Amino acid sequence: MTRFLANSEWFGDLGTASLRLLPAEIAHDIGLKLLASKHRRHFVPSVDLSSFSQMSMNVPGIGELHHPIGLAAGFDKNAMAPSGFRSLGLSFLEVGTVTPRPQPGNPKPRMFRYPEQKAIINRMGFNSDGSDKVERQLKNLHWMHSDAPLGVNVGKNKDTTESNAIDDFNRGIEVFHELAKYIVINISSPNTSGLRNLANREFIEALARHNKSLLHKIWFKLDPDMEKQHFQDLIESIGDAGFQGLILSNTHKVSWPEAGGQSGHPIQGLSNRALELAWEVHRGELPTIASGGILSGIDILEKVRRGADAVQIYSALVYRGPFAVLKLLRELEAEMSLQKIAFLSDAKGSYYL
């Protein structure tokens, strides 16, 4: 079995390297179609991760996870391949961002890889099949959240004004709250004009008033570029309103070498800063999922030490291939052993001790 797995990992790395010879979005689409294929088992064998039981994490509002690694939003925008991603060993998944009405997103090219930095820049612009089609897709899946909780990330359409944006988010919550384990409000992408302007107390409170019975299912994904006081005021508003939790953080807005949102290794520090600033406010009382710059097992441990209940990956799948989860868990296990950490949950918040 070990020899088979080693060969499988080698082929997985070779396949990933081959895809990276193609333009970024074309490679992404091919990978997504392969994961959505009924024949994916021929090239993505399932991996047994039961030996990593010491890494289970209980995430309020989501449940007990076998390990902390989930899929970040943006990889499977239209819920094409949740079963394929689950076969990669991810413990929970997030699809989207889904907009109420279909829209094509920004003109191509709009996704760029920077391998020397282990970075990606995208300006996709919420390309989405729309909530009706994604709703049908999820209904057809008959998804079992007990196997891998699935969340839906929702946003606004490009042509929806800021004053009417709350209607788009209310629509997303209304459509998906029964199908999804959790809902994520995306007010942090840098690629939709005016979206980040919604990151204010008035919007938070208005959304809470309209969705009083569903606050326990709603999370907010925030950007890492806010000034400290604004960011911490927003964290306080989300907690005071009774929402379930935070996802920290979205991409970092850049203008060079391409305009868009940067993810991967370069934003690791910004993402860690967001976790630290949030902890100063909520002191562990607001569940938090970390995203941004997670490419090794040590990166995961550092997120948990800064208060994360779980993490989400995106760039790691691009640069470390279909066995990324297994590789990350092996590295995390080795680091925990060196630091004499028996259970990953014991490390939560230890950065502040």
Query: Phi first, then psi: what are they for 63, rounded to 5°?
Result: 120, -170
72: left (phi over 0), alpha (psi -120 to 50) or beta: beta
Active site residue 337: no
- On the question of a cis peptide bond just before residue 251, with omega within 30 degrees of 0, the verdict is no
161 forms bridges with which residues in the sheet? none
CB < 8 Å & 24+ apart, contacts of 9-12: 9/321, 9/323, 9/326, 9/327, 11/43, 12/44, 12/321, 12/322, 12/323
List the beta strands (DSSP E) in 216-327. Answer: 218-222, 245-248, 252-254, 260-264, 288-291, 310-313
CB < 8 Å & 24+ apart, contacts of 104-107: 106/191
69 forms bridges with which residues in the sheet? 311
CA–CA dist 12, 10 (Å, integer): 5
CB atoms within 10 A of CB 258: 15
Query: Phi first, then psi: what are they for 96, rounded to 5°?
Result: 110, -175
198 forms bridges with which residues in the sheet? none
CB atoms within 10 A of CB 244: 21
91, 189, 263, 271: the catalytic one is 189
Strands 119-122 and 260-264: antiparallel
CA–CA dist 16, 199 (Å, integer): 37
User: Could you tell me the CA-to-CA distances from 31 to 43, 158, 190, 319, 321 in Å, in that order?
Assistant: 11, 27, 25, 13, 10
Residue positions annotated with a catalytic role: 189
